[in-house]
Amino acid sequence: MVFTFGAGFSAGNIQRQMMFTQMQMLRSTERLSSGFRINRAADDASGLAISERMRAQIRGAEQGIANAQHGVSMIQTADGSLTETTAILQRMRELAVDAGDGALSADQRTAIGAELVSLRNEIDNIAGRTTFNGNSLLTGAFNISTASVIGPINDGSDADTVNVGINVRVADANETYNATVVGNDVTLTAVGSGETQTITMTDLNGDGSTATLDFDLLGVELNLTAVQGGGGDGNISAADIAAGLNGSAVVTTGDTATTSFRVGSDVGDDISVDFSGQILARTIGSGGGADIADLVRDDQAVATVGEANTLLDSIDAALDQVTSEQARLGGSQNQFDFAINSQASRVTNLSAAESRIRDTDVAAETVRFAALKIQYEAQISLLSQTNQLGNSLLRLLA
């Protein structure tokens, strides 16, 4: 009986050890199959907390890199347009030098002036088209809009009306433009800057006929469309339209053109970029009434050698302004590039550190699993031998 008790006790002890070994083998298998040393808090509570914090830093840094790349793309978009603006100014400078030739005829000067007007308009067109994710980059404000409503303007003789559409894509943000009329001449005045431009209104003849009052020197465009009313013919006189515009106002609003990019994983890891520079015909040049828009109002811009000389000085100043804007944005791009490199290095180092804490050492775990397997097989063999010993004792007692 003593031997039987000893054999039973040994068998129970071996079974307990087998259960522990089996549990260790399952954990080792889990680590090898998942690749992680820590699969639950019970594996290493403090290690898990440190690892999760590192993972948050890594993912934040990776997103910061993506944000910085968006900033680079935004700057490159502006830089490309500034390069084209520089090319336009270089061509305008050639024309101004050409107009400095006293042997040119009046017709030749008019032809040069006509090209200058086209080039001046394209400077503003480029600024209006240069957007990134809906944000304007060269007009001084990300988004320029107006809540102003003008009209509809009524015909003085019948039920015909004129609908007025307002386009302020390249206007100044947070500015008020007042319209005044003398006869058929409509003058728009920017209250803040005092700049004015006058356009002579013409008749609209027929339903659906259109006209555009393009105050291009101010960046405001009024699009007129005649609408035939009951009993009318759609013909609306210039005088009636002008009278309807008299006293109206266009008020613009705009968001700030300074934005920040989160280039790191924490609050304050930001880079700010200022896109408030206005690269428009009315804002580049010498200023003080000698900017590009003021000097190139029509095809008589270089009617004399003196006017050509003044324009040449203004274009040189404009080139300096545009290249300075490019240089400033180029500096910001360099800052983004350094931030990207820094964060990429940080991601690499943090990933390595997090891996050392959380990942499985496959070689060591494989050796451990093999040892546990040998141990388990030995325990099975011992259990079998212990059971055989008990059976032998029973046969002796039989």
Closest CA to 61 of 328, 333, 353, 334: 353
With cut-offs at 50, 70 and 90, classify the pLDDT of residue 9: low
CA–CA distance, 280 with 296 (Å, rounded to integer): 13
Residues 261, 133 within the same domain:
yes
Residues 236, 277 within the same domain:
no
Domain boundary among 323, 349, 375: 349
Rounded-to-10 torsion of CA 350, 351, 357, 360 = -170
293, part of any domain: yes
Q: Tell me the two tokens of residue 171.
A: 């206007």
Model confidence at 23: pLDDT above 90:
no
198, part of any domain: yes
- DSSP alpha helices (H): ranges in 187-258? 238-245
Model confidence at 196: pLDDT above 50:
yes
- Can you give the pLDDT at residue 384? 76
Residues 162, 222 within the same domain:
yes
Residues 165, 307 within the same domain:
no
Residues 133, 270 within the same domain:
yes
Domain boundary among 306, 326, 349: 349
Give me the long-range contacts of 20-29 (CB less than 8 A, separation at least 24): 21/372, 21/375, 21/376, 21/379, 22/376, 24/372, 25/369, 25/372, 25/373, 25/376, 28/365, 28/368, 28/369, 28/372, 29/369
Contact 311, 295 (CB under 8 A): yes
Range(s) of the domain holding residue 222? 144-254
Q: Distances from the Cα of 189 to the Cαs of 125, 154, 219, 253, 282, in angstroms?
A: 21, 23, 11, 16, 14
Q: What tens digit of pLDDT does each residue of 269-291 get?
A: 999 999 999 999 999 997 556 89
Per the DSSP assignment, residues forming a β-bridge with 181 are 186
176, part of any domain: yes
With cut-offs at 50, 70 and 90, classify the pLDDT of residue 92: very high
Contact 341, 77 (CB under 8 A): no
Length of the chain: 398
Q: What is the CATH number of the domain that holds 105?
A: 1.20.1330.10
Phi, psi of 176 (to 5 degrees): -115, 130
Residues 316, 243 within the same domain:
no
Q: Tell me the two tokens of residue 247.
A: 């006293």
Q: How many domains in the chain?
A: 2
Domain boundary among 254, 272, 288: 254
Total-model pTM: 0.79
Residues 136, 262 within the same domain:
yes
- Can you give the pLDDT at residue 395? 63
Percent of the chain with pLDDT over 90: 63
Q: Which of these ranges, 60-74, 91-105, 268-282, 354-368, has the smallest mean pLDDT?
A: 354-368
Q: What tens digit of pLDDT does each residue of 200-230 get?
A: 999 999 889 999 999 988 999 999 999 988 7
What average pLDDT does the structure give for the chain?
88
